[in-house]
Structure 1
């Protein structure tokens, strides 16, 4: 398909006036969506960190092994609680009223089937892993699966209407409720049941919030078996993609649950909870804000190219700033906050934070594949991602146990972004040299700064208590941030402005 004339195109490097209103409109839409996403993220992360401080004191290390295996079990039903219905509704937004009854019924029935399957998975996990009480924890968490399926329908309709404010407000309230229940259950002695209880209760609360925000929306259960089967066949690639995405994100726990001790798995999961949850929240926000926008631009490739590079650069810039802080002072904070209890998790925090900005580009690429309906490409990248993380986790744990697995999985995350983002860029007509330039602009100085901090050994603040030595990593991190920001102000001013526009919820040029 040829490009639409009169649209700003970074590949061509020129802009005509005929479509400036459209570019500005989509820019405002993306900025508004990402602004609410950013606010939701900040609130959620503050609550998450606060709850993890408390849980780090309240729960034993091996309790986090139960949390890791519960997360692993969710891999097998991810397609049932998030069956791709939201993506189909967004893609076919122009027929929303017509297709909503069937798709909502499909989501609810598939979620109910997922609950039954989850109980079967729980039995298998109980027999495989020497961690108790695993089955009953999984059974309790399973109550959230059909409820989660309902939330995807509500949020899809709200996304089509660009109602990002209501989505984010509901998410912030859900987060507050979840973490209050989480910490309260741990304080009352729920132990391994803590996460499952909070998950089921918060998902029910989330459904109530979304239902209240969409008073005219009614979900349907009416669907004939024949129609259900037809929709399953039609959405087979979406369902398979949901499973593969979950496997690619959490497949390492599947192997490491057998290869590491319960305590090591607990440290591993704790470290990922501090950093990888950032990826999960941003990924959700990217899909909420960008999938509707990119879907409506799928026939306007010139503008899609512009938005893809511009928004990707702004988002990765924002996350790079956060990750420089995590690499620099993360070890010191983990040690000081928990008094050394979780020090073995520091290697996970630093390793994953260092590669997170590059990894995030894979999520942005996934939005492009889905908005274009390129399920073959999406499936191919997810198969590779899922297979590679299993290989890396196995090889790393075999060679060097806990530390080896951590480093190997971090490398997998890095390679995933380096391969997936260029594929999506090429699919929408962005020249390879343009993609190489994008990576060079966004990550060359970031990589140099992170390597310099690692060579300076941010771990030294963990083993000392002298205030001047504890202050040193903070000063070095501030210097690293100053260098990174100075470079971007000089050479990436457009991305800096776009990032500030997202944070301020203002129009960017």
Structure 2
């Protein structure tokens, strides 16, 4: 199968998996918001910081090195597998010992016992992590998609069932562990059948991978801090209830991006890796990814911002009205995250992980005072507003430091990759907001339906207009001719 067909096949399966898991997790959020109070969802957000930590660091950063390097021996893969298992067990012990300290940082004593359960994830993940990576490298996304969907379906069902029976925060923790266990064990079973690891650990085989992984680990550490700094600041300074309101808005405005974007980036990372040395082809492919991501994400984000005053109270209940403004502000953050997100896959593919690490360190130093000042002066709304400023700085330096460093001057290509989708989405959102202001005498459900239909019609119309006028990709083609 050609690389192009593999990419299309991978995107199709990944898109289907993403759609299923996103719907399942949105349904879970909707039901849990009805069953649990804001302070419990705030505790959930604090726990997610640790759970996300486990996913980031369980493999010591070597998984992407396996994809980047074209060809490994069985001895090397076996050594990497045992290193991952050892690292996972060490992290498990660290979380057990550090749980009281983490709870003290958040000033939430009720966090300690759930953290003990969360630590188990460090033992579970390394069992199948490497085999998932090998499937991704071989671009066998069908197997990954089926496994992910089955795990999410079972874990989500269990989590809702436990929440309905009064298990509170443990319903979320145990549901998450079930998802991790199903995924990891399934990939491990496949892996042991096809390439069972040898009971041998030779550090000489893994030194180069660990060196690559250290940059990855360093970048992930800083990126993790950047991505979770808002939750850390709100949890520490404003408490669990405020974090609960923020978490709902974050799940509506930001989490969908975190689900949609990896559909392309997880497929494009191995594809980018196969383009090493073909700079023009790599550049064109990168901006094409941004173009696709913006046309999918931008209307969702700006449409959500326009509909939030009616959608949030109707869907989640009047007790969540405090999240409306947060949804609207974080939607703007989401726009900029969409544009900047694919850079990680590109840097890994060309082996420039050191650039990403240095950049994320600089951005973390910038983020801490900006978000802290926002929380201190204006509460959770201040944090969301400060996040917009920080993300704008992030986007500007994304181009000026990273993209220019890799491709040279390419501002027209960069802006042209997302400008048409931004224009069409902005017009769509304005029409949705205007229509709602004209029919205030209607029921909330009726207003939402009107906004939805009008938004789809307007966005589809302007998108088709841009396609016919050749605005989509025009700047990219222009730069290509002048190159």
TM-score exceeds 0.5: yes
Residues 171 and 37 of structure 1, relative CA distance in 2, 3 Å threshold: same
1:324 lines up with 2:299 in the alignment: no
Number of the residue aligned with 2:480: none
Q: Which residue of 1 aligns with 2:339?
A: 361
Q: CA deviation at 1:470?
A: 5.0
Shift in Å at residue 138 of structure 1?
0.9
Task: Please name the residue that 2:316 is paired with.
Answer: 338
- In the other structure, the counterpart of 1:245 is 223
**Counterparts of 2:453 and 2:45, CA distance in 1:** 34
User: Which residue of 1 is the match for residue 464 of structure 2?
Assistant: 489
TM-score for both structures, normalised by structure 1: 0.83
What per-residue deviation string (whole Å, max 9, x for no partner) do you get for residues 227-278 of structure 1? 7788655532111112112111112111211211321111111221233221
Partner of 2:196: 218
Residues 93 and 160 of structure 1 are in contact (CA less than 8 Å); yes or no, is this contact kept in structure 2? no
Equivalent in the alignment of 1:19? none
Shift of 1:477: 5.1
Aligned partner of residue 467 in structure 1, secondary structure: coil
Aligned residue for 1:32?
A: 9
Q: Are 2:453 and 1:475 aligned?
A: no
Query: Shift in Å at residue 457 of structure 1?
Result: 9.9
Picking from 81, 93, 97, the partner of 2:70 is 93
The range that moved more, 438-447 or 380-389, is 438-447
Offset of residue 364 of structure 1: 0.5
Q: Does the C-alpha gap of structure 1 residues 468 and 133 become closer, same or farther in structure 2, counting only changes over 3 Å?
A: closer
Q: Mapping of 1:400-439 within 5 angstroms?
A: 400-421=378-399, 423-429=401-407, 431-438=409-416
Gaps of 5+ in 1: 1-23, 498-509
Q: Structure 1 residues 455 and 299 mapped into 2: Cα distance closer, same or farther (>3 Å)?
A: same
**Structure number with higher relative contact order (C-alpha < 8 Å, ≥ 6 residues apart):** 1
Of 267, 276, 279 in structure 2, the residue corresponding to residue 298 of structure 1 is 276
Which residue in the other structure is 2:129 paired with? 152
Q: String of CA shifts for 1:114-157, please: whole Å, max 9, x gaps.
A: 11122233121223333242111111011112322333311110
Match of 1:139 among 116, 137, 140: 116
Deviation at 1:439, TM superposition (A): 5.0
2: distance between equivalents of 1:235 and 1:286? 23
- CA separation of 1:183 and 1:265: change in aligned 2, threshold 3 A: same
Q: Which runs of 5+ in 2 are unaligned?
A: 474-483
- Residue 168 of structure 2 aligns with which residue? 191
Match among 104, 109, 123 for residue 81 of structure 2: 104
1:269 matched to 2:238: no
SS at match of 2:201: coil
Question: Once structures 1 and 2 are overlaid, which stretch shifts more, 335-344 or 269-278?
Answer: 269-278
Pairwise CA RMSD:
3.0
Q: Where do residues 108-127 of structure 1 align in structure 2 (5 Å cutoff)?
A: 108-127=85-104
Please say if residues 67 and 137 of structure 2, whose CA atoms lie closer than 8 Å, have aligned partners that are also in contact: yes
Within 5 A, what are the aligned runs for 1:367-378? Answer: 367-378=345-356
Residue in structure 1 matched with residue 146 of structure 2 by the alignment: 169
Change (3 A) 1:223 1:397: same
Structure 1 residue aligned with 2:214, among 203, 213, 236?
A: 236
Residue in structure 1 matched with residue 419 of structure 2 by the alignment:
441
Contact kept? 2:42, 2:241, Cα under 8 Å: yes
State whether residues 142 and 200 of structure 1, in contact with CA within 8 Å, keep that contact through their aligned partners in structure 2: no
CA contact (8 A) 1:426 1:432 kept: yes
